[in-house]
Every structure is written in C-alpha cells, then in structure tokens.
Amino acid sequence: MAFIPKDLIPERLRKIQTEGLKWTVAHACANSAFYRKKFDEAGIAPADIRSLDDLRHLPLIDKDDLQTEYPFPLLSVPFEQVVRIHASSGTTGKRKVLSYTQNDVNLWADMFARCYELAGLTRKDRVQIAVGYGLWTAGAGFQAGCERFGAMAVPLGPANADMHCEMMVDMETTVFCSTASMALLMAEEITHRNLLSDIRVNTIIMGAERHSDGMRERIQELMGVEHIFDIYGLTELYGPGTGLDCRMHDGIHYWADLFIFEVLDPATLEAVPYGEPGELVVTTLKKEGSPLIRYRTHDVTRLFDAPCACGIPFPRHDRILGRTDDMFIYRAVNIYPSQIDHVLSRIPGIGSEYQIHLQQRESGRDMMVLRVERAMGVDPESDDALAETLAAEIRRKILVRCKPELLDYGSLPRTERKSRRVFDHRNGNV
C-alpha cells in the first residue's frame, strides 16, 4: 500500500509540471469559452507555454470568475463526462459550483489516500468522519479517500455529540476527522462525559478553517492524542486533501505533481521569495472538469524550500495564516484574526475560543471588544488580571487598544462547521 510516490526527483517533478501545465492550458483553451476569452484578452495562445517559467504570463482568475458562467463555471468537458458536482457557498452571490469527471473523482481519492498514508494510518484504522456530506466536498473527500486507502470509514457527518461518542466507543474509532471547531467540541464532550478511558482515538485530522496553536494544544491535551494533522483543501481544487502536515508538523506537504502552487504579493501580484507570506495561487495539472489556471485562493501562506526531515519528496507550504479578505481595519491598523489568536495563545489562563466585535461608539471612535473564554478550571477572580495582560499584549504586539471581556469556559458557541471569529457591527452591520 503506497500512494505517495517516494522517488519523485526534482527533474522528474519539473517535467510532470511542465507537461501538466501545457496540457491544462491547451485543454482549457480548446474546451472552455471562458478561458479562451481570458487568453485572447491576454494575447496568449497555448503554444506560448513552453516552460514552467511561462506560467507567470498567464492571466489570474478569481472567485468572481466562478460567478460569470454560473451554474457551470470553467466547464471544460462535455456534460456527458461530468459525473458529479460540488459547491461551496460564496460570501456574496451564487454558490461556486465545480464539475468533476470520473478521472477527477478517481484522482481526488488517490490524492486523499496519500494524506491518510502520510498521517501514518494503516488498513486496520477506523476513521470516524465528522464533516458534512452533500454539496460540500468535505464528507465525499474523506470518505472516498478512506475507501481508496482501505481503512474502515465510520461516516457520521456532523451528527450530534451523543451519536459521535457512542460510535467512537462502540466502533473503537482510531482516527477522528473534522473541522478544527468540531474537534474542540468533541474533545470537550469526551472530557465532560468522562469517556477518555473508553476511547481509542490516537489521531485527529482536521482542517477547513484556520485554528490557533492554543486550540490545537487544547484539543491534544483533552483527547490525549499523539498527532493532530492539519489538512488543507478547497472546493475549487477538488476539495480536502490537497496536502497535509507530516509527523514533523512543520508545514503542509502538497501534491506538486497534481498542481502548482505560487505565492504572490496580493498587491503587486508578483511572486514573493520563499519564506515570505503572500496569497496562494493554484494551477491544476490534471483536472478535467473545471481546470484551474492561476486561481487566486485568497489564502495567505508561505512556501518553504528546505526539504523536510521526514524525507518525502513533496514540497511544503506553511499552515494557512489567514485570508486576504479576513483582514479588517481598526483605528487605521490592518489586522488579521490570526494576529489576535497568536497573542491569545500565549497568555496562560486564556482559552482558545474568542470573538472579535468591532463597534462604533457614540463618540464616533471604533472599539474592538475581545470576548475571550477563560481556560478550563481558571478562577473568575483572575479576570481583572487576565484582562489587563490581554489588553497590554494586544497593545504591545498589534499597537491598538481593545476592551477584553472574560467569559466562562465553554460559553462561546461551538460549531461542527467553521467558526466565525469577527463580527463587525460598525456602520449598522450585524
């Protein structure tokens, strides 16, 4: 059982990428009116793509482009070859719908099986899948990957905590897969129900949203698991499983024989050097139904160039640091939620759950209220001291004032989907 190619030397990878890029551009140009128009406007023809270096001459596409040909944007095959669609909700407008051919579905399962292999699973593992099935890619991705890999899937979907706990004990689940929010919710439930000694979970695979170090540490501590793996993916790029961190937990290995990742400065749209954060832009090499050519993900990460100590020949990007569209402006300072949770994660006594509320006071000045849970078992008597430390640290690291509000452990909403962190009430917004 080996899904991860171990012999991918750099020259071979470059060849695969060059051929895949040429094929994708020719395929999209021949079969999609949208791409043809894009390339015409940019004055580029498939024959102009001779090497990987030519990638940068291709026009970028963005999520708005997925609205223009709704309901089947980027479609590059005849309908009779489409065997499935998935969709994710756009923040504005219609859903983003992506079409899959049988080859796309197969390749996605293979790529996901690599993730399970990288996480160290064997066919004896029992994989409880707690992400939503349906239009969302999550359930289908984890499920097909598990079957392809050959482990036993326990396909619950989000379900409720009773059901998850019951199945986790009775099925002797060893691997739990969910969003980061759901993993925390379950870790708390298991602790609350005193079930830790009855369960066998030793691995958590979680993704779909950015999570803080504090949150990961909390889950690991409560569940007593050996490894928590961060899995990345997006609907436009098949779905979950485009990469996973290895046991070194030092960046996410991605499947560079299936897609090219560039990291660009979102303002200049030029590539940033290795190690510098920027926006991830993806180009697929084998995707038939809805190929992506320089698609802007708006996710912020960095590419690493040093090989990983684990030895697999696949490059790494950092965990997702945030989204370019997550940034908010408060008192003339640009702030990403990740900067806030970075500060929170380092203050003992503070829990991992928080909300940022931006309000406009009568004086007209903005106020940032940080609603933060105390860590489990911390006495409310320490609230004043915690609030003072928190405000001082935010001021020192992010250079703005805030108003902390300490809350009981477990009082902020838990969700099995993606947690919302920022609530901007300014200008009448909710």
Q: Using CA atoms, how far apart are residues 246 and 255, in angstroms rounded to an integer?
A: 13
Q: x/- contact string, 370-409, with ligand DLL (CB under 6 A)?
A: ----------------------------------------
Q: Nearer to ligand DLL by C-beta: 234 or 308?
A: 234
Binding span for ligand DLL by CB under 6 A among 24-32, 226-234, 254-262, 362-370:
226-234
> Is residue 278 near ligand DLL by the rule CB under 6 A?
no
* Nearest residue relative to ligand DLL (C-beta): 207
Which helix (H) or strand (E) covers residue 13, if one does? Answer: helix 10-31
- In 118-249, where do the E strands start and end? 126-129, 152-155, 175-179, 203-207, 227-233, 240-245
CB neighbours of residue 16 within 10 Å: 17
> Is residue 322 near ligand DLL by the rule CB under 6 A?
no
> Is residue 233 near ligand DLL by the rule CB under 6 A?
yes
> Is residue 299 near ligand DLL by the rule CB under 6 A?
yes
Please tell me the number of Cα atoms within 13 Å of 256 on its side-chain side.
Answer: 24
Q: Nearer to ligand DLL by C-beta: 247 or 323?
A: 323
Cβ pair 199, 169 in contact under 8 A: yes
Q: Nearer to ligand DLL by C-beta: 54 or 326?
A: 326
> Is residue 146 near ligand DLL by the rule CB under 6 A?
no
Among 88, 181, 203, 290, binds ligand DLL (CB under 6 A): 88
Query: How far apart are CB 300 and ligand DLL at their closest, in Å?
Result: 9
Among 181, 203, 235, 352, binds ligand DLL (CB under 6 A): 235
Count of all residues that appear for the chain in the document: 430
> Is residue 297 near ligand DLL by the rule CB under 6 A?
yes
Q: Using CA atoms, how far apart are residues 374 and 351, in angstroms rounded to an integer?
A: 5
* DSSP state string for 365-391: -EEEEEEEEEPTT--GGGHHHHHHHHH
Phi-psi region of 410 (alpha: psi -120 to 50; beta: other; left: phi over 0): left
Residues in the site for ligand DLL, rule: CB under 6 A?
88, 131, 137-138, 207-210, 230-235, 239-240, 297, 299, 320, 323
